[in-house]
Amino acid sequence: ETVRLADYTPFSHSVEHVAMTFRLAPEATRVTTRIRFGAGGTALRLDGEGLRLLALRIDGAAVSAEPDATGLSLTVPDRAFVLETEVEIAPAGNTALEGLYMSGGMYCTQCEAEGFRKITFYPDRPDVMAPFHVRIESEMPVLLSNGNPSAQGPGWAEWDDPWPKPSYLFALVAGDLVAHSDRFTTMEGRDVALNIWVRPGDEDRCAYAMDSLKRSMRWDEEVYGRAYDLSVFNIVAVDDFNMGAMENKGLNIFNSKYVLALPQTATDEDFARIEAIIAHEYFHNWTGNRITCRDWFQLCLKEGLTVFRDQQFSADMRSAAVKRIEDVLTLRARQFREDAGPLAHPVRPDAYEEINNFYTATVYEKGAEVIGMLKRLVGDEAYGRALDLYFERHDGQACTIEDWLRVFEDATGRDLTQFARWYTEAGTPRVTAEESWEGGTFTLTLSQDGAKVIPVAVGLLDPSGQEVRPTEVLELTEARQSFRFDGLAARPVASVLRGFSAPVLLEKPSSAEERAFLLAHDTDPFNRWDAGRSLAKEVLSQMVVRGDAPSALWLDALAEVVLDGGLDPAFRALTLRLPAEDDIARTLHEAGVTPDPDRIHAARRAMGDALAERLRDGLGDLVAPVPGPWSPDAGQAGARALRMQALGLLSRLDGGAEAQRVFDAADNMTEEVGALSALLDAGAGVAALRAFGDRWQHDRIVMDKWFTLQILHAGDAPAVTAALVEHPLFDWKNPNRFRAVFGALSANHAGFHRIDGSGYRLLADWLIRLDAANPQTAARMSQAFDSMSRYDADRQAMMAAELERILNAPGLSRDLSEMAGRMAGRR
């Protein structure tokens, strides 16, 4: 059944207060809920799924009613009243990991988006906000819920959350946990107890997450003027979690891999992700919790904004240029792909069957880009005023994108009607740039295939590489517009879409020489990198299509950057990264060429070989150890990234000899994994892989890498995957392990798309199996099939057949059926 934005109606009643009591038991947990409703007529409809109703009272008098499959309809007094329900649920059997479930012997919850209805009968929608009081009774030593602790005794604890919140922010945790604790004093002088709760033995792995949390709290005060608002902030790490983390009020619950880290167990990328996710969930306290969403169509209101804020934070903590390049790499890989296929949807969708399917790259990452554009268009100072107004006007409310845009209109006097299209139209806009030069005037003509407001940041360089016009944001609002730059002494080279100022596909006819020039001279670091990237993509495409050899121009231009010791090593490492096979496949398809995965794979390997050959003399220096004691900071991480890129290239020349030495000497996971990857690529990884497995067999988070790496670097990925699912440590009900294996299978482009169809078949088999236990993760992983239409008829037919097989699976979930249906073209 389709839910539509146009059908929104407010809830019948207000909820004044909620008091809950949990008597926890794995097979039979009792949940008593007392809800004080305001007056709202005589018909009340509550959501509820899989609940055994034991008792029902209105103002203390027993009432009888029979729930249906999705909830409970009641006749209630036409005045304020108290509804009391008692239900029984079985967390131990909850493999969907939504609602109250168990992970490694502990109780935990995940309620966003609609999990609370699996805990009790309630108006489970974000626009119903109420203060909660929670009592937990259990033998577990640590009992946590939202808000401030209010009382506790042996076998029980009570929590009080004074801030009205929607049910999706409810959380409860009970387990044998230990805390890594600290304190923080807010700018308002509030003393806050900070705790990261983990399983005994993991407490020495929390220091980086705690440090990230404190830096996030300070940053939100300094940059957005937002202070924390409770006396305690708890984070819990759980091993079985469908997503990255969840911003429950005062009680964030995290996938343990985004909390636990030591230099020996986590890569630099893991550290950066922990910092970003800790910040993201913390920032939700204001953008999501204090101001929430009216309905789930408005999801980007909190997610786009909070991703934008965590990106700003990481940029401030690290290198802004490097962060921007990394964010655009992810955006293009995931969101552009999504926008180009059958799963394309607007940043604010207007219809869905299962809301869990809309926690997407479009809502999150494109949602963040839209905010970045807004900031670019109104300017930093006006952005600050608009955000102040947003917090002042909407604190405590459940809002819409219209509310958000109105704040900007009121703060700036600007009409955002046209801008709003970014929220309502799917697809990646194409912007074409043409240039002309006459009598000292340079004219840039921009055109678009739609009718959006597109901020295009442009700077001009003179032929010597000096910047003659600093960055200026041009506003493309019409189908075609020309922008003049007068008084130039020589024809300039234009650097267009600096900083990736809008999430568009830029088409700018330019020679390879011009791009090599920008790679060497652009003063905008993003465009400097992107010039190299577009050159690399063009070279690789020509290698695939025409069988060309990699051009000397590209090799020389790249060598120039990579061997320039004056440049940030992180930037050099990013420049060395070759375009992904999937990215080339999408680019070829968009250019009207049917991508051949085997040719793409072979060409990319040949490209790397040629690069290794070209850099031969410099690689020895580049693989030298990174000096100084280990630190997770951006400087050292960048140096290690460059070292590992160089090691991968060197392995093509020395058969992995140096990589084996680095592997044997590694004292941190970045280098251990980097060296192992290089060895696997060189076909020399058997011994190292075994050593890695022996060393880390008791560490779930590290062993995920062991599974992933061998599939990612396999020649025949489906065969390797089929063998690994027989491994005793392959626990398919654990989402991290399932993703480690099947995420790697679909990320191995040539392997997944093998012409014998074995990749497609294996993934479909396991999606069907997982769907019966955990629909949310199964649906998410099915997205691997969304690139179907790019490929040749044989592959398309095989993928379509697998989607059909999924659609015909008995008992298929709404989650997976919506996804497979959309990809099969049935929706």
* Candidate ranges 213-221, 238-246, 464-472, 492-500; the one touching ligand ARG (CB under 6 A): 238-246
Nearest approach, Cβ of residue 468 and Zn ion (Å): 42
H or E element that contains 525: helix 525-546
- Indicate the residue among 748 and 774 with the shorter CB distance to ligand ARG: 774
C-alpha radius of gyration, the chain, whole number: 27
Query: Residue 683: what are its φ and ψ, rounded to 5°?
Result: 70, 25
Partner residues linked to 235 by β-bridges: 196, 252
Nearest approach, Cβ of residue 360 and ligand ARG (Å): 10
Residue from 108, 173, 246, 343 touching ligand ARG (CB under 6 A): that is: 246
- Indicate the residue among 243 and 272 with the shorter CB distance to ligand ARG: 243
Name the DSSP class of 594: -
* 247 makes contact with ligand ARG (CB under 6 A): yes
* 217 makes contact with ligand ARG (CB under 6 A): no
Counting Cα atoms < 13 Å in the Cβ hemisphere of 65 gives 24
SS (H, E, C) 535-581: HHHHHHHHHHHHCCCCCHHHHHHHHHHHCCCCCCHHHHHHHHCCCCH
* Residue 587 interacts with, from Zn ion, ligand ARG, none (CB under 5-8 Å by kind): none
Task: Scan residues 283-342 and list those touching Zn ion (CB under 5 A).
Answer: 303, 306
* 228 makes contact with ligand ARG (CB under 6 A): no
* Residue 568 interacts with, from ligand ARG, Zn ion, none (CB under 5-8 Å by kind): none
- Indicate the residue among 288 and 579 with the shorter CB distance to Zn ion: 288
- Name the active-site residue from 114, 281, 369, 802: 281
- Indicate the residue among 247 and 524 with the shorter CB distance to ligand ARG: 247
Q: What is the distance between the alpha carbons of residues 682 and 680, in angstroms, rounded to a whole number?
A: 5
Site map 355..374 versus ligand ARG, x via CB under 6 A: -x--x---------------
Task: Scan residues 472-491 and list those touching Zn ion (CB under 5 A).
Answer: none
Task: Scan residues 284-343 and list those touching ligand ARG (CB under 6 A).
Answer: 303
Q: Angle 373-378-384 (CA atoms, 0-180°, nearest 5)?
A: 100
Task: Scan residues 250-289 and list those touching ligand ARG (CB under 6 A).
Answer: 280-281
Q: Looking at 387-504, which runs of residues are DSSP E strands?
A: 398-399, 430-438, 441-448, 454-461, 467-476, 480-485, 493-496
Active site (annotated) includes residue 804: no
* Cβ-proximal residues to 348 (8 Å cutoff; 6+ apart), any chain: 5, 297, 298, 299, 300, 401, 423, 424
The amino acid that residue 21 corresponds to is T
Q: Is the peptide bond before 113 cis (omega within 30 degrees of 0)?
A: yes
* Residue 356 interacts with, from ligand ARG, Zn ion, none (CB under 5-8 Å by kind): ligand ARG
H or E element that contains 799: helix 793-807
Nearest approach, Cβ of residue 794 and ligand ARG (Å): 35
Q: What is the distance between the alpha carbons of residues 356 and 776, in angstroms, rounded to a whole number?
A: 7
* Candidate ranges 7-15, 243-251, 438-446, 642-650; the one touching ligand ARG (CB under 6 A): 243-251
Q: What is the distance between the alpha carbons of residues 245 and 277, in angstroms, rounded to a whole number?
A: 7
* Candidate ranges 70-78, 244-252, 388-396, 434-442; the one touching ligand ARG (CB under 6 A): 244-252
- Indicate the residue among 136 and 276 with the shorter CB distance to Zn ion: 276
- Indicate the residue among 31 and 246 with the shorter CB distance to ligand ARG: 246
Confirm if 619 and 612 have CB atoms less than 8 A apart.
yes
Site map 752..791 versus ligand ARG, x via CB under 6 A: ----------------------------------------
Nearest to 711 by CA among 782, 763, 645: 763
Tell which phi-psi region holds residue 182, choosing left (phi > 0), alpha (psi between -120 and 50) or beta: beta
Residue from 217, 243, 378, 646 touching ligand ARG (CB under 6 A): that is: 243
Nearest to 702 by CA among 257, 272, 237: 257
- Indicate the residue among 359 and 692 with the shorter CB distance to ligand ARG: 359
Contact residues: Zn ion, CB under 5 A: 303, 306
> Hey, which residues are catalytic here?
281
Contact residues: ligand ARG, CB under 6 A: 112-113, 243, 245-247, 280-281, 303, 356, 359
